[in-house]
Amino acid sequence: MTSYDAGPVAALRRISFLLERAREDTYKVKAFRGAAAAILPLPEEELVRRVADGTLTDLPGVGASSAKVIAAAVRGELPDRLATAEAELSGPLTDGGAALRSRLRGDLHSHSDWSDGGSPVEEMAITAMELGHDYLVLTDHSPRLTIAHGLSAERLTRQLGVVEAVNDHLAGGFTLLKGIEVDILDNGSLDQDDELLARLDVRVASVHSKLKMDAPAMTRRMIGAVRNPRTNVLGHCTGRLVTGGRGTRGQSQFDAKAVFEACAEHDVAVEINSRPERRDPPTALLELARDSGCLFSIDSDAHAPGQLDFLVLGCERAEAAGIDPDRIVNTWPKERLLEWARK
């Protein structure tokens, strides 16, 4: 039996991370993350006792599968479920992109359970730290996106306090930055109070509705958002889906040259969205944005901690397109990033 000394919480978190990274079913992930949360506050002596008398599953949130993981880890043995996940799910996600990935300092697009993400803010921050990030921007959705439980001005204000508390607790070299993925409304305005947007560190503006709008109107809509001085990043610009459980979706039609020229003029970064089902922008548009002089942001658009590892997928695409790393804003140190984001 292989020995294991990291403890049961670490084992459960690692299994969850690998399942999320592989985009496995959400219910599987919740079982392990829920068990980790259930045993985290318990003293070691109680866990040892429960393993001995077989009462782990009496704890709310601990099922039969997670109990086996906990029991093995408490005994100092490598849990079978963790060994299987490591063997099947921990390999490289790409053939390329590693060199650029090593230069990224952080991630400008992530979601927590405040909107449509699956994990608490602090879990997203801790995982980003474990991946070597200097910073992570928390960008939960804005009010109009009700299907994603978008944040009202009141809820976003409360979340800013949570971000400050997380940073106070971490008190280290890592910073959780205040952000939003704000909807671009039909007329090109942004779906949040301007004074509240001004309190944020980074703002990603994205189209989530009426994706089949005719090209001239969509072009005006996107350029209107790009010209807004609060906008820092144009998120997943075509809205396409190329694979995955949600099915596929064609890309929005707009004058890409005009939009990217506006991005270059107004110092707005074009997002290279690293989610496997998005791969947005498509290669031809990525190259057009490159030739238009745009800045870029390689983002995970993570909705779970394990998905923060998607960044290398965007890095592989950026390397293939020959994009200069210094044009990628999340290769920059935090101070330079924030100076740029403040316009």
| Spatial distance between the Cα atoms of 177 and 257, rounded to a whole number of angstroms | 31
Q: In the 8-state DSSP scheme, what is residue 249?
A: B
Asked if the model's pLDDT at residue 276 lies above 90, the reply is yes
What value, to the nearest 5°, has the Cα angle with vertex 147 and ends 313 and 223?
Answer: 65
Asked if the model's pLDDT at residue 159 lies above 80, the reply is yes
Query: Do 147 and 154 meet the contact criterion of CB atoms below 8 Å apart?
Result: no
Residue 149: burial class (beta carbons within 10 Å; 0-12, 13-18, 19+):
middle
Residue-range domain boundaries for the chain: 8-89, 98-341
Asked if the model's pLDDT at residue 1 lies above 90, the reply is no
**Per-residue confidence (pLDDT) for residue 215, from 0 to 100:** 98
Topology annotation, domain 98-341: TIM Barrel (3.20.20)
| Spatial distance between the Cα atoms of 200 and 331, rounded to a whole number of angstroms | 20
Residue-wise pLDDT for 38-58, tens only, equals 999 999 999 999 999 999 999
Query: Do 249 and 241 meet the contact criterion of CB atoms below 8 Å apart?
Result: yes
DSSP-based three-state secondary structure for 245:
coil
- Average of per-residue pLDDT across 11-28: 94
Return the half-sphere exposure (C-beta side, CA atoms, 13 A cut-off) of residue 314.
Answer: 34
Asked if the model's pLDDT at residue 171 lies above 80, the reply is no
CATH class of 8-89: mainly alpha
- Is 98-341 the same fold as 8-89? no
Q: What is the largest CA-CA distance in the chain?
A: 69
DSSP 180-230: EEEEB-TTS-BSS-HHHHTT-SEEEEE--S-TT--HHHHHHHHHHHHHSTT
Query: Do 321 and 286 meet the contact criterion of CB atoms below 8 Å apart?
Result: yes
What's the pTM? 0.96
